[in-house]
Amino acid sequence: MHSMTITQKILAFKAGLEYTVPGQLIEIPLDLVMGNDITAPLAVNEFHKAGFEKVSIPDKTVFVMDHFVPNKDIKSAENAAQIRRFSAEQKIDNFFDVGTAGIEHALLPEKGLVTAGDAVIGADSHTCTYGALGAFSTGVGSTDLAFSMATGKLWFKVPSAIKVILTGRLSKYVCGKDVILHLIGILGVEGATYKSLEFSGDGVSSLSMDDRFTIANMAVECGAKNGIFPVDNKTLEYISEHAPGKDCKVFEADCNAEYDSEITIDLSALKPTVAFPHLPSNTRTFDEIDDDIQINQVIIGSCTNGRLEDMKAAAEILRGKKVNKNTRTIIIPATQEVFLESVKQGLTEIFINAGAVFSLPTCGPCLGGHMGVLAAGERAVSTTNRNFIGRMGHRESEVYLASPAVAAASAIAGRLCSPEDLR
């Protein structure tokens, strides 16, 4: 009898095998393949170059125009136009453009396109987000996307796993972003390379779905192939709300499953955490920060922290306050639904009264694309997922990764600031 992790069980099931073991090469059918306005054009070019004419899984193919949409220049307009034409030719219904689009990794779960037990690939590294739903999801290159569209399948090397045991409950002003930054600080940016991060423990049930999406989203920042959570009542409630009637398959790790290592995190002991330039692993808590770090820009949004819970956390801090006159504050809801709820719940009014700008859904500033590019010497506090050199603009700019609460507090203070220090 072979014991397996959740990821190994999903891959075995998809491959039609009794079991899988780490390092094994398998080919599996895919439940969903996704590309965006940067990666899909490359995939379509490879698709045609390889001589393919027909997408074999049009109902399982998704294109989301989110990085440079509405288009910021001629090149981005041409890329989007290419995917519009291709989607029409191939009868791909799940094509999300201006008005229906949002940031892909928030949009797909919201639209009910991913569920527990699915095998999902996306030509974007943060596709690992859907592990929050108990799915195997991972980022691939555009060539892999092209061949997956053509065949409906892809090969994988079965990953070994690291078990992350969560205990306790998060304190006020601490959220999923602090959990994953803390973990990346322990593992380093290569500490989980091609491994599955499998979250477990009684602390999981206390985490919201938005917290879990954030944690799974950044699994790739320590090199992981995927991050995955067990399916519990919160997961099933989310799936029933967003994907009613859609079949899901729940897998549980065997009690004697083998892991390369185990890490235990007491959620109640965590503090607001910041990743300093220029690595997500360069983490510090505020009792380890002595410097007065002036901030020119704050970004609250992205596929990591642009969900409604994130908007609420920022609004709680910003209510009745003003952002520092030297700190540009840009708040970007991840989807149209989050945008609409922010308006309905009065969050947008709080942001605008505070002197922040509330933008349409876009990935723009996260990758230094548009809507908030940094100049030389500028510093940003951002709720995004990467702070590599030049990630959000000039190579001589700096990015500090933090939660929405820390970002909002820093916007008010004009410097890197903990929410508790505002009181």
Distance of CA 305 to the CA centre of its chain: 8
Query: Quick one: which of 28, 107, 31, 22 has its CA closest to 64?
Result: 107
How many angstroms separate the CA atoms of 75 and 90, rounded? 23
Question: Residues 6 or more apart from 343 whose CB is under 8 A from it?
Answer: none
pLDDT band at 158 (very low <50, low <70, confident <90, very high): very high
Report the percent of the chain where pLDDT is more than 90.
94
How many angstroms separate the CA atoms of 148 and 144, rounded? 6
Query: Quick one: which of 245, 190, 197 has its CA closest to 221?
Result: 190
At residue 28, φ and ψ (nearest 5 deg) are -135, 150
What predicted TM-score, i.e. pTM, was given to this entire model?
A: 0.95
370-403 per-position pLDDT tens digit: 999 999 999 999 999 999 999 999 999 999 999 9
Angstrom CA distances, 403 to 68, 101, 197, 400, stand at 24, 24, 21, 10
- Residues 358, 352 contacting (CB under 8 angstroms): yes
- Residues 117, 29 contacting (CB under 8 angstroms): no
How many angstroms separate the CA atoms of 344 and 4, rounded? 45
Q: Specify the pLDDT at position 365.
A: 87
Q: Specify the pLDDT at position 290.
A: 83
Average pLDDT over residues 344-373: 94
Average pLDDT over residues 11-33: 96
pLDDT band at 308 (very low <50, low <70, confident <90, very high): very high
pLDDT band at 422 (very low <50, low <70, confident <90, very high): confident
How many angstroms separate the CA atoms of 226 and 210, rounded? 17
Distance of CA 102 to the CA centre of its chain: 13
- What are 312's two structure tokens? 């609420």
Average pLDDT over residues 212-239: 96
277-286 per-position pLDDT tens digit: 999 999 999 9
Q: Specify the pLDDT at position 1.
A: 65
Q: Specify the pLDDT at position 17.
A: 96
At residue 270, φ and ψ (nearest 5 deg) are -75, 150
Residue 280: left (phi > 0), alpha (psi -120 to 50), or beta?
alpha
pLDDT band at 237 (very low <50, low <70, confident <90, very high): very high
Q: Specify the pLDDT at position 423.
A: 65
Average pLDDT over residues 146-161: 97
Angstrom CA distances, 311 to 210, 340, 420, stand at 11, 12, 18
Instruction: Count the alpha carbons within 13 Å of 122 in the hemisphere toward its beta carbon.
Output: 29
How many angstroms separate the CA atoms of 386 and 130, rounded? 18
176-210 per-position pLDDT tens digit: 999 999 999 999 989 889 999 999 999 999 999 99
Domains of the chain plus CATH, in order, are: 6-266 (3.30.499.10), 274-418 (3.30.499.10)
40-80 per-position pLDDT tens digit: 999 999 999 999 999 999 999 999 999 998 999 999 999 99
- Residues 67, 363 contacting (CB under 8 angstroms): yes
Q: Specify the pLDDT at position 366.
A: 85
Q: Specify the pLDDT at position 291.
A: 85
Distance of CA 170 to the CA centre of its chain: 20
